Chain A
């Protein structure tokens, strides 16, 4: 141990944030050796950014809901079964036809910062719509829930758009329902393995998009 290290150690007590980055990159030397350059490289920069964001940015929605699914599943099924049925209206299927849920995002390979619109043309028999996206890592970005299609469509396109802020590959989910569903009820639609449960009056449609 170098002379005075004990004193220095007492003077420089690691704050938690600094310890966090050390945990991610245990030593600065190996990544620099692998890069062949003795300066801050991409891997270290990414680790630092991760630690900085963890310490400063408001937390995004996390994929905790896969863990809590059993409880939500029971609640949602009960909700859907026991919810009082609405009277037929403009968005209830007529003439005995089965309800149809259709949606297309305005882009599938989208530029970061672009606005994403939801084209629901062809949808019948469902009154409410919700949308969210999920990354491969399981992070969830909620866009909206409980959009009343009776008042939110203009020529088949939802009147609300979302700004795509973070690059990556996403699976975009559109949830159609005859009753408004909140986030918990929507989370309960998904089984542990990510498959969608069959629930009367609800249809989930998914699409892949990439934000570059």
Chain B
């Protein structure tokens, strides 16, 4: 069911670009968009071409670009409020993924033309690690290092990190639970990410 069904005021606020309304729509559909970006899809109309899921950074960019496009003023005002909104959003994500898929193929062809050879074969050869997924391998090593990093934190910082990252509470809710300001929560979460990045880089676990 579309989020705007039986909620005309929300649709009006959405069309005006009201931040709370945009945030409500985003929260309702962000996981669907992220799942599509991560998993990829098959294009039957183009002879079963499989558009691969994105890397972490590309997934985040796809989510962002989908909502930037959907929330732009012309798209907001043009939406009729009756057609289901989820397929509309996912169509934007798919189109973005197809554009990038085509651009990546063009880039690979360019490399081929310049004499580097078949990029797929080259990448496949480089990725041959005896059947072990190198991304999963990296992830497990990084996760172990993250646990070691978390053990170095003081109790309050660890609680804020747990509530914010694991339990996925809002900054306001974390502040209320811990008894500090929202600004403090924000500062702790930013510092934790920066420190963890440095910690992983020192150990050669992050480029």
> Interface on A for B, CB 8 Å cutoff?
3-4, 7-8, 11-12, 17-18, 21-22, 25-36, 38-46, 48-49, 51-53, 55-58, 60, 112, 136-137, 165-169
Contacts and interface: CB of A to CB of B under 8 A. Distances in A.
A74 to B, nearest CB: 31
A32 B56 contact: yes
Given A27-B206, A30-B197, A34-B196, A57 B18 contact: yes
A46 B164 CA distance: 11
B3 interface: no
Contacts of A8: 104, 107
B97 interface: no
B64 A33 contact: no
Given A4-B108, A57-B71, A166-B19, A40 B59 contact: yes
B61 to A, nearest CB: 6
7 contacts: A4-B110, A7-B111, A53-B19, A56-B68, A57-B71, A136-B182, A169-B172
B155 to A, nearest CB: 16
A-B pairs with the 7 shortest C-beta distances? A42-B168, A28-B56, A56-B71, A34-B165, A33-B146, A40-B34, A35-B165
Contact of A26 (B21, B61, B119, B197): B197
B116 interface: yes
B111 A28 contact: no
Given A35-B166, A36-B143, A30 B200 contact: yes
Contact of A52 (B67, B73, B108, B172): B67
Given A40-B63, A60-B19, A4 B56 contact: no
B107 A40 contact: no
Interface of B: 13, 16-23, 26-27, 30-31, 34, 38, 56-57, 59-61, 63-65, 67-68, 71-73, 100, 103-104, 106-108, 110-111, 116, 119, 122-123, 139, 142-143, 146, 150, 161, 164-166, 168-172, 181-183, 189, 192-194, 196-197, 200, 206
Nearest to B56: A28
Contacts of B59: 28, 40
Given A34-B161, A52-B67, A11 B22 contact: no
A102 B68 CA distance: 45
Given A34-B161, A46-B171, A29 B142 contact: yes
A165 B57 CA distance: 32
Contacts of A22: 57
Contact of A43 (B139, B189, B197): B189
A57 B192 contact: no
Contact of A40 (B60, B183, B200): B60
B17 A56 contact: yes
Contacts of A52: 22, 26, 64, 67-68, 71
A58 B15 CA distance: 11
Given A26-B194, A30-B197, 5 more contacts: A11-B106, A35-B165, A40-B59, A45-B30, A52-B26
A112 B107 contact: no
Given A38-B139, A40-B63, A41-B168, A53 B111 contact: no
A48 B63 CA distance: 8
A7 to B, nearest CB: 5
Nearest to A10: B107
Nearest to A47: B60
A28 B60 contact: yes
B183 A165 contact: no
Contacts of B65: 17-18
B169 A42 contact: yes
A203 to B, nearest CB: 29
B172 to A, nearest CB: 6
A18 B110 contact: no
B109 to A, nearest CB: 10
Contacts of B38: 39-40
